[in-house]
Chain A
Amino acid sequence: MRNFLVRSLCPILSAACLIAADPVWTSKPAAQWTEEDAQQVLNGSPWSKQIAAVVSRRLTEDQLREAGQMGQPRGVGNEGVDPKGSGYKVSPNIFTGRGGDDRSPRSLPQGIKLKLRWESALPVQLAELKAHEADPPTLEGDGYRIAVYGIPGPEFRGDPKELGKPLKNLAALKREGKKDVKPVSAEVFQRESGIIVVYLFPLSAEVTFKDRQILFEAQIGRIVVSHTFELKDMEFMGKLEL
């Protein structure tokens, strides 16, 4: 019985201790960050979140035509987002079936894991340097830069700005009681690890701790992204870092 208790409690206590440990961005000077620390900042911190986004359902040609379009939309977030084999399987049995359940997986919304990162935040930039991220996505101009990592798809050729153009108007930063902020630009970067979409929001949209939360919403082709960041967690060196 004692052994059982020890075996049971040890992992729990260990996990609790680890969870209770202060994150590196509050417990350790940036100068002392190890590469692992930097990875933590880059992959799981108030400035970098793994989120559950949604790939909206694939529309039929009839629905597209009703929507004024023809053909499946192309471009980032549209191509390569459906898993292989998720299309409709035509059964030769025309006498029995599942009625409304006789549908393909891609005709239903699918979940997708993405990563959002405030590229403009100082801790992220420091961590990128520390982690030797060779070519972090950057945009021209000052502002809040939010990157969306992990978008599936084939290799898109073309100017990052041109690829990002259709996405610019489909993103916003939202704060309670304030006007939504639209990005001034959006670009698409192709990396070995996948596609990254980066939005640049103007600094003129002042964000303070008083806003408490900031909601980032974007639609990248069929991928719908929505995440609320807690501003109180995004303090770095006594300052709100975005």
Chain B
Amino acid sequence: MNNHKKMGQLRQVGPTPCRYPAITRATRNSLGAAVVPVCAAVLFAALSHPAFGQGAVGLVGGVTRDSASGKPVAEAQIVAHNLDRGTDRATVSDAKGVFTFTNLEPGQYDVAATKSGFQRSSAHVEVAARRTARVELPLQIAADVHLTAEKPSDAPLTERERQLLERIDRLEGRLAAMEAKESGDKPVAANTAPGSDALVASLNPVVAALPPAAPRTPPVAFPTPAPAPVPAAAPPQTGAPAPAAPPAPQIPEASQAPDPAPAVDNDTPFAFGDFTWLNGSPRNKDTVLDTKFFTPEIRFDTHYMEDFNQPIDHTIVGATESFRSGEVQIEQASVGGDFHWQNVRGRINFMQGLFATTTPRNDASAGTGQWDLRGAYKYVSEAYGGYHFNVNHGLNVDAGIFVSYIGLFSYYNYDNWTYQPSYVSSNTPWFFNGVRVQWFPTNKLKIEPWFINGWQSYAKYNGHPGLGGQLLWEPKEWMKLVLNQYGYGQDNLGLPKTERIHTDDSIELRFYNNPSSTGLSKIAMSLTADAGAQYGGGLCGTCAPSKGKDSFVGWMAYNRYWFKKDLWAITLGGGEMSNWGRYLTLLPPINGADAVTGSPYFPQLPGQRSHMWDSTVTLQYMPREYITWWAEMGYRHADIPYFAGRGGVTPPGFPLGGTNGSPGQFVCMSGAPSGASDLPTAITNCGGKANVWFPDLRRSEPKASVGVMVKF
């Protein structure tokens, strides 16, 4: 079908009225621009012209193009010279370079194109009755003629060209089939073109209302046509003015009216709704800084806290958000961001400020083996890399250190409804070190297993890694359900046979939303419940305290009200925990004690209980999406002496910057270590009970705080 001819050479078409031009390298790129218009012109001329189909005439269609650029040349003069009779027919190419001659007597023709500035181009054409022939007339710019070499004519078709040709073939086939159907059992010659009035009639029943067709004379392939009502496609080559086309009717309203479309992305997980109201999620609506490969993140968190116990050493204990009293402190200054290139990803977020020392001190795993793991990780809050697989709604495999989800609240205070969360959040992990897989089977569900070193640990304490996972379900914009489970880990220093299990489950509901209101604009609540236990190695979760009970039960609930288009928000809430064995009770930093050293002043032994509750009222002012001003009043209570009192938790003398270097021992009133972690020996060593120093621990802690947080 696609025989290749030299440029400008005629090709007689076969059974259908339009075939394709010879394709050379010069024409390939412009094939689309050339083939379709020519086919269209010829086809419609054939369909429309009243004379066509009478059995004595043929058609010629073609296109004029700039041979150098392949662009159509408009308004070229085209002359078809009948070599037998010496007669001429003339027309002009249209804006797309297309020209058509209909009603040509059969015979030999010379078709030539001329235009100012171009060399004349011509081609020899044989016109046969009831046939269509097409011709290409490449026009060379006059000055360039001598520079132009002959173009190869046998270049192969590109895939795109082949598709185009096939498409036009299919269309022609469809037209032919329609014609055959309309013609019923009338014989159709093999080489007939579907440019007859039968096809015209078949194209629309309206034709039935037109003047009756002249009698047809079988077996002639092209039945005698009736005059076509409007030869619209034929150029005015005969000199007769074409009938004026009727005014185009307006597009019916029904065809123009847009219908509403859903405004949500149902592919990207959780993109169907605005979840910036959630506790534990940043409320930013846009990313200010963004590049193709890296999206930076910057956070600043500064506050002033006033512990009404007025500790003389300015030390607040028992929280992972509150550390110093009566001072302005930078809790966190973080710079980092996300690296992303195609499906490869990585995230790093450094942390400076109090977090850099207050977070690592709660991890006892650094006491296992060598190397300074706390030093290695102290300035890193997140660092991981991984790969995103395009499976379902996404599948990620990442490895590194991650912030923990347990406890609902975010590790970053900017994301939270309150500054000081309850124990269930404050005392549970801040990071995981290991591998996580995130699988999004739907756009509303995430399933995320973890294979990690342990519970809030840089290292693995004992023989088992920690296994866990999160199931996050956000079926509606106003609801979030998150279930975190943990188990298998042996997360106690020096207790190789003790295992830990924990469940942490939260629900968040937004039950009022009127964002444009200048009054109350939103109300939402969160409820979290936790339970856990340690068992094995002499510990048990449900046994009597005297038999080594180690368990945890806790909850927290918050209710938040937004006002004046979310400019202001107030959050009321609190929680409670009961922790047998105190394994999730934060060790007060008495004499610099941390999770590795322990403290004789606050033993964490099986069967010992710490029961605590707290409540806060937090007011946030959020004029811009990147800044939060806040003020908070809080009260915390414990059944045991726990919070820093006026005397503080720092021993006298401060010989080593707040600690005597032996936090695991009792301290003598001189500030020196007693050399003992049991009280009788310490009394002896210090020279009497009155010579042993004790920290000032209280059962309650009222506190007021103000601060500002920024996140870009």
Binding site for B on A (CB under 8 A): 15, 18-19, 21-24, 26-34, 36-37, 40, 43-46, 48-54, 56-73, 87-88, 90-91, 93-104, 106-107, 109, 113, 122, 125-126, 128-136, 138, 140, 166, 170, 219, 222, 224-228, 230, 233, 237-238
Q: Mark B168-207, 1 if CB is under 8 A from A, else 0.
A: 0001001000100000000000000000000111111111
**Alpha-carbon distance A138/B32, docked complex (angstroms):** 12
**Alpha-carbon distance A96/B69, docked complex (angstroms):** 60
Contact residue among B256, B266, B568 (Cβ-Cβ distance under 8 Å from A44): B256
A52 proximity list for chain B (CB < 8 A): 258-261
**Contact between chains at A67 and B271 (CB < 8 Å):** yes
**Contact between chains at A65 and B565 (CB < 8 Å):** no
B164 proximity list for chain A (CB < 8 A): 135, 138
**Contact between chains at A31 and B284 (CB < 8 Å):** no
**Contact between chains at B285 and A103 (CB < 8 Å):** yes
B284 proximity list for chain A (CB < 8 A): 60, 62
A103-B286 contact, Cβ under 8 Å, with A52-B259, A70-B345, A166-B390: yes
Contact residue among A37, A59, A98, A107 (Cβ-Cβ distance under 8 Å from B623): A98
Contact residue among B232, B282, B338 (Cβ-Cβ distance under 8 Å from A70): B338
Stretch in B291-299, B370-378, B494-502 with 4+ CB within 8 Å of A? B291-299
Stretch in B244-252, B607-615, B670-678 with 4+ CB within 8 Å of A? B244-252
List B residues 263-279 near A (Cβ within 8 Å). 263-271, 274-276
A132-B171 contact, Cβ under 8 Å, with A67-B394, A71-B295: no
**Alpha-carbon distance A228/B33, docked complex (angstroms):** 33
List B residues 67-109 near A (Cβ within 8 Å). 96, 98
**Alpha-carbon distance A29/B198, docked complex (angstroms):** 11
User: Chain B nearest CB: distance from A197 CB in Å?
Assistant: 15
**Alpha-carbon distance A109/B264, docked complex (angstroms):** 8
**Contact between chains at A99 and B623 (CB < 8 Å):** yes
**Alpha-carbon distance A97/B247, docked complex (angstroms):** 56
**Contact between chains at B390 and A70 (CB < 8 Å):** no
Contact residue among A36, A50, A93 (Cβ-Cβ distance under 8 Å from B258): A50
Contact residue among A53, A65, A106, A135 (Cβ-Cβ distance under 8 Å from B36): A135
Q: Mark B618-629, 1 if CB is under 8 A from A, else 0.
A: 000011111100
User: Chain A nearest CB: distance from B599 CB in Å?
Assistant: 38
User: Chain A nearest CB: distance from B56 CB in Å?
Assistant: 20
Asked if B148 is an interface residue, CB under 8 A from chain A, the answer is: no
A91 proximity list for chain B (CB < 8 A): 624
A224-B262 contact, Cβ under 8 Å, with A36-B248, A99-B623, A135-B36: yes
Contact residue among A32, A97, A136 (Cβ-Cβ distance under 8 Å from B567): A97
**Contact between chains at A62 and B261 (CB < 8 Å):** no
**Contact between chains at A31 and B48 (CB < 8 Å):** yes
**Alpha-carbon distance A24/B259, docked complex (angstroms):** 23
A59 proximity list for chain B (CB < 8 A): 268, 271
**Contact between chains at B32 and A134 (CB < 8 Å):** yes
**Alpha-carbon distance A61/B43, docked complex (angstroms):** 55
**Contact between chains at B268 and A133 (CB < 8 Å):** no
A68-B394 contact, Cβ under 8 Å, with A61-B287, A224-B261: yes
Asked if B254 is an interface residue, CB under 8 A from chain A, the answer is: yes
B295 proximity list for chain A (CB < 8 A): 61, 70-72
A66 proximity list for chain B (CB < 8 A): 269-270, 275, 281
**Contact between chains at B256 and A21 (CB < 8 Å):** no
Which 6 pairs across A and B sit closest by C-beta, in order of nearness? A99-B567, A97-B623, A100-B566, A71-B340, A44-B251, A135-B32
Asked if B314 is an interface residue, CB under 8 A from chain A, the answer is: no
**Alpha-carbon distance A23/B597, docked complex (angstroms):** 87
Q: Mark B138-180, 1 if CB is under 8 A from A, else 0.
A: 0000000000000000000000000110010001001000100
**Alpha-carbon distance A93/B623, docked complex (angstroms):** 9
- Identify the closest chain A residue to B474 (Cβ): A66
**Contact between chains at A62 and B281 (CB < 8 Å):** yes
List B residues 454-512 near A (Cβ within 8 Å). none
**Alpha-carbon distance A69/B163, docked complex (angstroms):** 37
Asked if B222 is an interface residue, CB under 8 A from chain A, the answer is: no
**Contact between chains at B345 and A88 (CB < 8 Å):** no
A87 proximity list for chain B (CB < 8 A): 286, 288
**Contact between chains at B258 and A51 (CB < 8 Å):** yes
**Contact between chains at A19 and B252 (CB < 8 Å):** yes
Asked if B428 is an interface residue, CB under 8 A from chain A, the answer is: no
Q: Mark B40-51, 1 if CB is under 8 A from A, else 0.
A: 110110011000
Q: List 22 A-B contacts (CB under 8 A).
A: A24-B248, A29-B229, A32-B48, A34-B232, A66-B281, A67-B394, A68-B396, A68-B446, A70-B340, A72-B290, A87-B286, A88-B286, A95-B623, A107-B286, A109-B263, A126-B171, A133-B36, A136-B36, A224-B265, A225-B261, A237-B202, A237-B205
**Contact between chains at B232 and A219 (CB < 8 Å):** no
Q: Known contacts A70-B340, A126-B203; can you find 18 more A-B pairs with CB under 8 A?
A: A28-B206, A29-B200, A29-B206, A29-B229, A31-B199, A32-B48, A32-B231, A62-B282, A68-B440, A69-B388, A69-B394, A72-B287, A97-B567, A100-B567, A101-B565, A224-B264, A237-B178, A237-B202
**Alpha-carbon distance A204/B249, docked complex (angstroms):** 36
User: Chain A nearest CB: distance from B114 CB in Å?
Assistant: 23
Asked if B37 is an interface residue, CB under 8 A from chain A, the answer is: yes
**Contact between chains at B262 and A18 (CB < 8 Å):** no
Q: Mark B10-45, 1 if CB is under 8 A from A, else 0.
A: 000000000000000000000011101101110110
A61-B47 contact, Cβ under 8 Å, with A70-B338, A99-B622, A104-B286: no
Contact residue among A69, A88, A225 (Cβ-Cβ distance under 8 Å from B288): A88
**Contact between chains at A29 and B270 (CB < 8 Å):** no
B438 proximity list for chain A (CB < 8 A): 68
**Contact between chains at A98 and B275 (CB < 8 Å):** no
A56-B250 contact, Cβ under 8 Å, with A29-B204, A62-B282, A237-B202: no
**Alpha-carbon distance A100/B624, docked complex (angstroms):** 8
- Identify the closest chain A residue to B396 (Cβ): A68
**Contact between chains at B287 and A67 (CB < 8 Å):** no
Asked if B3 is an interface residue, CB under 8 A from chain A, the answer is: no
Asked if B130 is an interface residue, CB under 8 A from chain A, the answer is: no
**Alpha-carbon distance A131/B37, docked complex (angstroms):** 8
A29-B203 contact, Cβ under 8 Å, with A60-B287, A100-B565: yes
B625 proximity list for chain A (CB < 8 A): 88, 102-103
A53 proximity list for chain B (CB < 8 A): 261
**Contact between chains at B285 and A65 (CB < 8 Å):** no
Asked if B339 is an interface residue, CB under 8 A from chain A, the answer is: yes
**Contact between chains at B249 and A23 (CB < 8 Å):** yes
**Contact between chains at B285 and A104 (CB < 8 Å):** yes
**Contact between chains at A97 and B624 (CB < 8 Å):** yes
Most buried by B among A50, A66, A126, A227: A66
Contact residue among A28, A63, A106, A224 (Cβ-Cβ distance under 8 Å from B263): A224
User: Chain A nearest CB: distance from B211 CB in Å?
Assistant: 13
**Contact between chains at A94 and B627 (CB < 8 Å):** yes
**Alpha-carbon distance A238/B178, docked complex (angstroms):** 12
**Alpha-carbon distance A65/B281, docked complex (angstroms):** 11
User: Chain B nearest CB: distance from A227 CB in Å?
Assistant: 6
A67-B37 contact, Cβ under 8 Å, with A32-B230, A95-B623: no
List B residues 365-415 near A (Cβ within 8 Å). 388, 390, 393-396
**Contact between chains at A30 and B203 (CB < 8 Å):** yes
A61-B263 contact, Cβ under 8 Å, with A31-B200, A97-B624, A100-B565: no
